[in-house]
Amino acid sequence: MILEKLIGRFSTDIAMDLGTANTLIHIKGEGIVLNEPSVVAVSSGSEKVEAVGFEAKRMFGRTPAGLQTIRPMKDGVIADFNVTNRMITYFIKKILKKNWFIKPRIVIGVPTCITQVEKKAVIEAALMSGVREVHLIEEPMAAAIGANIPVHMPEGNMVIDIGGGTSDIAIISLSAIAYGESVRLAGDSIDESIVRYLRLEHNLNIGIFEGERIKVKIGSAYPELETLSTEVKGIHVQTGIPTSITIFDNEIRETIQEPILTIISAVMRALEKIPPELSADIHSNGIYLTGGGALIRGLDKLIEERTSLKVYKPDEPLLSIVKGVGAVLDSYEKMKSVCIS
């Protein structure tokens, strides 16, 4: 115990949101020190890492032969173990500039319903990057802690975390997930639906990050008061000629409706499956909506309409998970019971 305290004093402990779209790191006592895309550029022959994070995302779709950009996380879990490991190592080295005197402890957020094999992969990838111990916490639990929800109380609270790869729906009570469901469909699927729409309806080929840009610029789940539009540049499917068109929010709203309604169906399923006591709590407490997907215009309103429950959104939904994982790390001895490993 004394030794542990001593080690704690000399090590820089880390909280990480290892997301499909973004990786965020919080250092104990300091706050958020890194927020970068989960993208790595690797040279094909030598497997050498050429760029990570923002720099690699800028290269996406623009790489010459011999260089490829990889998103090593898919659907909230590790899709490419080696590249994920190298990405974690790079980010940790970047924030801990000096040589480590004592290796850090790390707490990492993972989706609910992640398999044992997937958990093991996260733990191993972190250990290989040189940390001394790894703890995992389910992301909706982290989001709830980050929002100051009293997770230890015998009272149900519902969290919906819509990220890039997964939408996690969870009901939390007594420091545990009383009901959890992970739908492997979130921001990325919404972007893909926009790419597909432009190809089929406008004969325009665009990349996935252009699909994301359109979603952020004019995407909405509920009709807005003002009309939004954006110019889209792509390649004409038949002629191969660079072409640009203007598209409007109503087309995109219709296009992204299917993935959004699938996520809302999972929410409805959760509400049907839980016991009446938890259901009554959620009727009084409402739903807490977080993750980058919470920023889709009007999504809170659509969920309110479909569920008849009040939906609350934090000011910075992209930071919710790392804030919660950071809060657990900062008071680790008191909070460690919420970790799952």
Ligand X SMILES: Nc1ncnc2c1ncn2[C@@H]1O[C@H](COP(=O)(O)OP(=O)(O)OP(=O)(O)O)[C@@H](O)[C@H]1O
List contacts with ligand X (CB under 6 A).
17, 19-22, 76, 163-166, 186-188, 212, 215-216, 219, 291-293, 295-296, 318
- For position 111 contacting Mg ion by CB under 5 A, the verdict is no
| Identity at 215, one-letter amino acid code | K
Pairing of strands 22-27, 40-43: unpaired
The residue among 78 and 278 lying less far from Mg ion, judged by its C-beta, is: 78
Please list the alpha-helical segments (H only) found in 38-115.
Answer: 54-59, 81-95
- For position 317 contacting Mg ion by CB under 5 A, the verdict is no
Smallest distance from the beta carbon of 325 to Mg ion, in angstroms?
10
264-269 own/partner pairs: CB under 8 Å, 24+ apart: 264/302, 264/303, 264/306, 264/307, 266/167, 266/169, 266/181, 266/183, 267/160, 267/169, 267/303, 267/306, 267/307, 268/306, 268/307, 269/181
Rounded to whole angstroms, how far apart are CA atoms 185 and 168? 10
Taking contact as CB under 5 A, which single stretch among the options 12-20, 32-40, 112-120, 299-307 is the one that binds Mg ion? 12-20
Taking contact as CB under 5 A, which single stretch among the options 36-44, 160-168, 258-266, 322-330 is the one that binds Mg ion? 160-168
Among ligand X, Mg ion, none, residue 187 binds (CB under 5-8 Å by kind): ligand X
- For position 19 contacting Mg ion by CB under 5 A, the verdict is yes
The residue among 169 and 204 lying less far from Mg ion, judged by its C-beta, is: 169
The residue among 159 and 296 lying less far from ligand X, judged by its C-beta, is: 296
The residue among 108 and 278 lying less far from ligand X, judged by its C-beta, is: 108
How many residues belong to the chain? 341
Rounded to whole angstroms, how far apart are CA atoms 204 and 86? 35
Smallest distance from the beta carbon of 213 to ligand X, in angstroms?
9
The residue among 33 and 245 lying less far from Mg ion, judged by its C-beta, is: 33
Q: Residues in the site for Mg ion, rule: CB under 5 A? A: 19, 163
